[in-house]
Amino acid sequence: MRRYLERMVLLGVLGTMAALGIWLQVSLLEPPAVKPALSSTHEPDYYIQSFTATGRDEAGVIYVLKAQRLVHFPDDNTSLLDAPRLVQYQGDQPLRHTTSESGWLSGDGNEVLLTGNVKVTQNPSEGDPGSVTHTERLTVRLERGG
């Protein structure tokens, strides 16, 4: 009976040591999966001075968007524009020039919100003297061909 008890204690100790060894090996040798930290704040990841973007379709250039500075925000892929200037080309129609103090480019790049002293100038054409419009806020859909 004593021998049986000794064997049981020995097997229990060996089993506990084996389980402890396996647990240590799994938890210490395999590093925990590293999850990238998602920024919950609206912090910029880059700046571009003297920014220029040109939109094109199969017929050619349809707009040119310039800004003194672009600030990009990765959490929603939007961009802040300082002193943006937009020139839109509309086939055989006259050019449209739009300027403002600031702007906000949408994440998909299809829309720009212009704010602060917005001025839209439509060039004159035959039979049309052109026009100048002033406002404080204007949303422009940047047309893409296709």
Distance CA 94, CA 128 (A): 10
Region 38-65 average pLDDT: 86
Q: Report pLDDT for 35.
A: 61
Distances in whole angstroms, Cα of residue 31 to Cα of each of 20, 36, 89, 116, 129? 18, 15, 56, 52, 71
Tokens for 41, please give them. Answer: 């704040």
Q: Measure the CA–CA gap between 131 and 106, rounded to whole angstroms.
A: 27
User: Which tokens go with 83?
Assistant: 């002193």
How confident is the model over 60-83, as a mean pLDDT? 93
What does pLDDT average to over the chain?
84
Q: What is the CATH number of domain 46-141?
A: 2.60.450.10
pTM over 0.85: no
User: Is residue 146's pLDDT more than 70?
Assistant: no
The mean per-residue pLDDT over the stretch 85-96 comes to 87
| 138 vs 33, more confident | 138
Higher pLDDT, 15 or 33: 15
Taking residues 74-101, report their average pLDDT: 91
111 has a pLDDT exceeding 50: yes
Percent of the chain predicted with pLDDT > 70: 86
Is the pLDDT higher at 76 or at 83?
83
pLDDT higher than threshold 70 for residue 95? yes
SS3 20: helix
For residue 84, the model assigns a pLDDT of 97
Evaluate if residue 33 carries a pLDDT over 80. Answer: no
